[in-house]
Amino acid sequence: MIRTEKLVRQYELAETVTAVHDVTVSIDAGEFVSVCGPSGSGKSTFLGLIGCLDRPTSGRCWIDGDETSKLSSDELAGIRNRKIGFVFQNFNLLDRLDARENIELPLMYAGVNNRTRREIAESTLRMVGLADRAKHRPTQLSGGQQQRVAVARALACSPKIILADEPTGALDSKSARDLMDLFHRLHEFGKTIIVVTHDPEIARQTSRVIRFRDGRVQ
């Protein structure tokens, strides 16, 4: 499902900084993988590269058979919209929209009609246990509820891959457990899930751990 070959990402600051260096990994369809490492180890940069949010300085990356280095910006956006769902630590919900409207956003960008958008949003809210919170705005929801809305939004376009960057970092322990239970259910449904985390307890719940240090896979 995901494969990288000698992936490198450098940034030109006061000096050249190599955030990801010579990373070659493969993640099969249906795997539940955690990406671990200390702060600054390159794990979030790696997630951005395989999520088509960034381009490598060198090396190659394949997502579901597509070599992303050969694709245009519009084609990369298409892969993000069709094949990848993103979950972030700080939820990234729009405060002016209610839960259902936040979930409908990626569907609107995909050209889905109003009725179908609403049906999908309501269905995904039921899946994450928030059917009764459809009209609540993010400020009216707890942190755990906001993260579940973010997961529902990630699922809206039926992606094959879920990429989660420190998804439990802003949650209390119970909300973190609830979120991981949800990820386990999605894994059972066949989703490929990659979770960046610094929490060893979260990592232990995944099927495989990829460890980063100084931009390299250990």
| pLDDT attached to residue 29 | 96
List per-residue pLDDT tens for the chain, 218 residues long: 999 999 999 999 888 999 999 999 999 999 999 999 998 999 999 999 999 999 999 999 999 999 998 889 999 988 998 899 999 988 999 999 999 999 999 999 888 999 999 999 999 999 999 999 999 999 999 999 999 999 999 999 999 999 999 999 889 999 999 999 999 999 999 999 999 999 999 999 999 999 999 999 98
| pLDDT attached to residue 110 | 86
Number of domains in the chain: 1
- CA-CA distance, 185 to 179, in Å (whole number)? 10
Backbone angles phi, psi at 128, to 5 degrees: -95, 10
Query: Which residues constitute the domain of residue 195?
Result: 2-217
Backbone angles phi, psi at 58, to 5 degrees: -155, 170
Residue 25 is classified by DSSP as: -
Which tokens go with 191?
Answer: 């989703």
| pLDDT attached to residue 70 | 82
Q: Could you give the angle at the alpha carbon of 125 between the alpha carbons of 185 and 179, nearest 5°?
A: 40
Closest CA to 33 of 217, 216, 208: 208
**CATH code at position 82:** 3.40.50.300
Q: Where are the beta strands (DSSP E) in 71-217?
A: 84-88, 161-165, 192-196, 208-213, 216-217
- CA-CA distance, 43 to 66, in Å (whole number)? 22
Contact 30, 190 (CB under 8 A): yes
